[in-house]
């Protein structure tokens, strides 16, 4: 790779933050190229409990981060119906349970199609969005009342790939700034129940696919 300007497709490990991935890759590259400083960043944060494609930009390519972030994204994952969590995923424990026996497969398929298109979405309070200079998740963890404004997003495709209640597997193609955790929240509400995101993998950013990404171990081995 060209250390002066390049990008790497990385398959982010489960439980790692995107920041931890950047730190580890910076350490690997600095050791390999015997340098002390390296400009490095990623194009689009993945939550710790999500896996999948992370575009890591190095050197001059850090100027293209915004361009990568603006690209369409594709995700696959699983919603768990009948319960909610404060974070809308498994980071926080279940706080409420709801009946889901009334939900049919037809309801699920129909709702997925109804939720496509341009729309307003309220981000999760446990997110990195800044409010008066502070991260929303920090305010939420400090038990502050957090109110976030709705943002305009587009869900281009929303396919249900498997139903085994209370689990619902999906594939979603969406615009920049879309929170899949918020889709889980809204999906549960519109089924007169509850739902949270129990697994998530980002499979594509623009033309770049997870199949072409390296694990951190593979990257390290390729440089040895």
Rg, Å, the chain Cα set? 19
CA distance 159 to 102: 21
Q: Tokens 């502070």 label which residue?
A: 134
Ramachandran angles phi, psi of 146, nearest 5°:
-110, 125
State yes or no: is 47 an active-site residue.
yes
- Reported as type and span, the H/E element at residue 110 is helix 105-114
Residue 69 in contact with residue 55, Cβ under 8 Å?
Answer: no
Q: Which residues contact 106 (CB under 8 A, 6 or more apart)?
A: none
**Exactly one of 47, 169, 186, 192 is catalytic; which is it?**
47
DSSP 3-state of 43: coil
Could you list the active site residues? 47
């Amino acid at each position: 790779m060209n250390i002066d300007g390049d990008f790497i497709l990385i398959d982010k490990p489960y439980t790692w933050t995107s920041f931890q991935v950047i730190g580890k890759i910076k350490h690997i590259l600095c050791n390999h190229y015997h340098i002390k400083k390296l400009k490095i960043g990623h194009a689009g944060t993945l939550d710790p409990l999500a896996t999948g494609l992370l575009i890591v930009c190095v050197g001059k390519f850090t100027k293209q981060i915004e361009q990568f972030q603006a690209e369409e994204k594709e995700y696959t994952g699983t919603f768990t119906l009948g319960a909610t969590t404060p974070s809308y995923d498994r980071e926080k424990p279940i706080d409420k349970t709801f009946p889901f026996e009334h939900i049919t497969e037809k309801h699920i398929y129909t709702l997925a199609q109804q939720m496509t298109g341009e729309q307003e979405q309220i981000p999760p309070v446990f997110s990195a969005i800044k409010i008066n200079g502070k991260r929303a998740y920090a305010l939420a963890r400090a038990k502050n009342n957090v109110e976030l404004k709705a943002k305009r997003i587009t869900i281009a495709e929303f396919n249900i790939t498997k139903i085994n209640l209370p689990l619902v597997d999906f594939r979603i193609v969406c615009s920049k700034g879309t929170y899949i955790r918020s889709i889980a929240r809204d999906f549960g509400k519109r089924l007169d129940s509850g739902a949270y995101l129990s697994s998530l993998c980002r499979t594509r950013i623009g033309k770049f696919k997870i199949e072409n990404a390296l694990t951190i171990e593979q990257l390290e081995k390729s440089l040895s």
